């Protein structure tokens, strides 16, 4: 696992702040970013850059926020392709005809999946987060990408490996060629779980680096390391996995956190697109 140093870079554009992945940028040909809560127009618990249409915020503010964020990142928000995010482990392949699905109406998002993959330039993928783990996968050899929402269930069922398998099957991707990134998400400092979930993670990820007990009797799960291991064990090189190492629940001034805010809050977004 990477140390405390972040493999992500912070960008500040006026009030807006978002993260990018320097090693993706060095390779070139791909746009990838993760938003914060800073730089939007939403108010109250959704202040300010809420990008989720499904959480009870004013839809006009959310669409304005999406337009602002996408403009800062350098793509067209009207083309965004979203998925339903059902806390499963399926990943769908999308193409040019899917452009705009879920961009304005969540009911039109790609149903039944938590990840999207494509090899078509100019198709911007988007997934939404309020503590769960964003996984970015980029194959610079076959020119293909996948973007994944890994909740605790998706992490346990190894959705990162499922995404790699989809890239392999559809585009001939070799996992050894893949550049990957684990974005900001609730960290091992804050992700307390019950004994059943702790036991399930200890079974799936033995070795003591993912599940930790504590003197107060609370189990904590390290979703960053769990997803890092999923990618490593599926063949991605250690040097090719960037880790943000930023806990969403520790930094409510910067991120929305479902856990730390008691439920009603906004959503950040991960965005990924092969450049045209």
Contact set with Zn ion (CB under 5 A)? 187, 189-190, 247, 249-250
With tokens 């959503």, the residue in question is 267
Nearer to Zn ion, 120 or 260 (CB): 260
- Mapped onto helix, strand or coil, the DSSP state of residue 230 is helix
With tokens 């499904």, the residue in question is 54
Mutual orientation of helices 223-233 and 159-171 as an angle, nearest 10°? Answer: 30
- Mapped onto helix, strand or coil, the DSSP state of residue 34 is strand
For the CB of residue 56, give the shortest distance to Zn ion in the complex, in Å.
25
For the CB of residue 5, give the shortest distance to Zn ion in the complex, in Å.
17
256 in Cβ contact with 250 (< 8 Å): no
For the CB of residue 187, give the shortest distance to Zn ion in the complex, in Å.
4
Q: CB atoms < 10 A from the CB of 88, how many?
A: 18
Task: Give me Rg for the CA atoms of the chain.
Answer: 17
Q: How far is CA 17 from the centre of its chain?
A: 16
Nearer to Zn ion, 84 or 249 (CB): 249
Nearer to Zn ion, 189 or 199 (CB): 189
Nearer to Zn ion, 131 or 139 (CB): 131
Nearer to Zn ion, 88 or 151 (CB): 151
Nearer to Zn ion, 92 or 249 (CB): 249
d(C-alpha 37, C-alpha 18), whole Å? 9
For the CB of residue 1, give the shortest distance to Zn ion in the complex, in Å.
16
For the CB of residue 30, give the shortest distance to Zn ion in the complex, in Å.
29
The β-bridge partners of 9 are 20
Tokens for 165?
């398998």
Nearer to Zn ion, 174 or 261 (CB): 261
For the CB of residue 10, give the shortest distance to Zn ion in the complex, in Å.
18
For the CB of residue 47, give the shortest distance to Zn ion in the complex, in Å.
21
Tokens for 48?
């300010």
Burial of 276 (0-12, 13-18, 19+ CB in 10 A): exposed
């Amino acid at each position: 696992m990477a140390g405390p140093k972040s493999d992500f870079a912070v960008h500040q554009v006026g009030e807006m702040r978002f993260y990018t992945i320097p090693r993706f940028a060095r390779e070139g040909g791909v746009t990838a970013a993760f938003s914060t809560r800073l730089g939007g127009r939403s108010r109250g618990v959704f202040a300010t850059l809420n990008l989720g249409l499904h959480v009870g915020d004013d839809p006009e503010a959310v669409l304005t926020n999406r337009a602002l964020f996408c403009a800062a990142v350098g793509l067209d928000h009207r083309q965004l392709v979203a998925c339903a995010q059902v806390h499963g482990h399926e990943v769908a392949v999308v193409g040019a005809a899917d452009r705009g699905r879920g961009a304005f109406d969540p009911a039109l998002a790609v149903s039944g999946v938590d990840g999207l993959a494509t090899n078509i330039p100019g198709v911007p993928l988007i997934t939404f987060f309020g503590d769960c783990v964003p996984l970015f996968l980029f194959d610079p050899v076959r020119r293909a990408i996948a973007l994944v929402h890994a909740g605790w269930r998706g992490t346990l069922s190894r959705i990162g490996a499922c995404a790699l398998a989809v890239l392999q099957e559809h585009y001939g991707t070799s996992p050894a060629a893949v550049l990957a990134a684990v974005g900001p998400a609730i960290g091992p400092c804050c992700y307390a779980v019950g004994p059943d979930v702790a036991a399930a993670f200890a079974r799936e990820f033995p070795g003591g680096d993912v599940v930790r007990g504590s003197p107060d009797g609370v189990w904590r799960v390290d979703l960053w390391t769990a997803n890092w291991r999923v990618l490593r064990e599926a063949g991605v090189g250690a040097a090719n996995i960037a880790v943000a190492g930023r806990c969403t629940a520790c930094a409510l001034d910067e991120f929305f956190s479902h856990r730390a805010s008691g439920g009603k809050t906004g959503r950040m977004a991960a965005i990924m697109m092969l450049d045209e």
